[in-house]
Amino acid sequence: MTADTLTEKLNGSRLNKNQIMQLVDDLRARPELTAVVLKVIYEQDKLRKNFNACWVFDHLMRKKLDYILPNINIFIEGLTVINWESTLRPMSHVLEMVNERYFVKKDAAYIKAITFKQQEIMAEVCFDWLIGQHKVAAKVFAMTNLFYLGERFDWIRPELKKVLEQSYASGSAGYRARARMILNRIK
């Protein structure tokens, strides 16, 4: 598979689950094409036309998260420009997997690859997702990401607690369930 054929497939008609998994398998053989997938994600987000690339990326990261490391800067910088719900959900999920590797598993490769500045960007976008007019999935992933980032920045958990307490009553059942879990962990 070449970058051009991958781009063509990602920009084509909506992919079904089998087609997504086939592309994931193809990408596992060509991890250098992960950067191409990210480029297409940001183009598709801007056009709000197609979200194949996001779904392929999310499934690839579930199988082989380490493919993000050579592209971590592209990934994090891209988080600052996405705003389509179809993009936010899978990208916020991938960010949660990255933060779990960093903060929970304390994976040395992630600790080495991710800078303080990049974590500041993560915190900023996650607060934007949490307090913005977004669907519950992006907000739920944002909460968890902020909880993890609170290990690095002392100001995050008190602010997160305040936001969750203020928005708890008006949140959906899924929002309240995750907020309750995060608030319990903060205490």
Give the mean pLDDT of the chain: 96
Domain that holds residue 108: 91-187
pLDDT at position 187: 85
State whether 98 and 153 are in the same domain.
yes
The SS3 call for residue 179 is helix
Residue 117 has pLDDT above 90, yes or no: yes
State whether 54 and 107 are in the same domain.
no
pLDDT in tens, 147-187: 999 999 999 999 999 999 999 999 999 999 999 999 999 98
> Would the CA dihedral through 101, 149, 54, 110 be positive or negative?
negative
User: CB under 8 Å to 44, separation ≥6 — which residues?
Assistant: 10, 11, 50, 51, 52, 53, 54, 87
Domain boundary among 10, 43, 63: 63
What single-letter amino acid sits at 3? A
Q: Is pLDDT larger for residue 72 or for residue 48?
A: 72
Total tally of structural domains belonging to the chain = 2
Note whether residue 68 is domain-resident. Answer: no
State whether 10 and 99 are in the same domain.
no
The SS3 call for residue 1 is coil
State whether 30 and 121 are in the same domain.
no
Note whether residue 86 is domain-resident. Answer: no
Residue 144 has pLDDT above 90, yes or no: yes
Residues in the chain: 187
Q: Which two tokens stand for residue 150?
A: 């609170």
Which ranges in 80-172 belong to alpha helices (H)?
85-99, 108-113, 116-131, 136-149, 156-167
pLDDT at position 3: 96
Mean pLDDT of 15-22: 96
State whether 59 and 99 are in the same domain.
no
Percent of the chain topping pLDDT 70: 100
Question: Does pTM surpass 0.85?
Answer: yes
State whether 101 and 183 are in the same domain.
yes
pLDDT at position 12: 93
User: Is 88 within 8 Å of 49 (Cβ atoms)?
Assistant: no
State whether 102 and 140 are in the same domain.
yes
pLDDT at position 79: 97
Note whether residue 115 is domain-resident. Answer: yes
Task: List the single range of 41-50, 73-82, 109-118, 150-159 with lowest mean pLDDT.
Answer: 41-50
State whether 97 and 172 are in the same domain.
yes
Mean pLDDT of 137-144: 96
State whether 49 and 125 are in the same domain.
no
Q: Find tokens 């969750």 and name the residue.
A: 164
State whether 33 and 116 are in the same domain.
no
User: N- to C-terminal Cα distance for the chain?
Assistant: 50
Note whether residue 72 is domain-resident. Answer: no
Note whether residue 78 is domain-resident. Answer: no
Mean pLDDT of 74-82: 96
What single-letter amino acid sits at 159? E
State whether 44 and 112 are in the same domain.
no
pLDDT at position 162: 97
Q: Pick the closest to residue 148 from 118, 115, 116, 122 (CA basis).
A: 122
> Band of the pLDDT at 123, cuts 50, 70, 90?
very high
pLDDT at position 110: 98
pLDDT at position 49: 84
The single-letter DSSP state of residue 103 is I
Note whether residue 185 is domain-resident. Answer: yes
CA dist 106 → 20, 99, 103, 112, 147 (Å): 30, 9, 5, 10, 15
User: Could you give the CA distance from residue 4 to residue 40 in angstroms, rounded to a whole number?
Assistant: 11
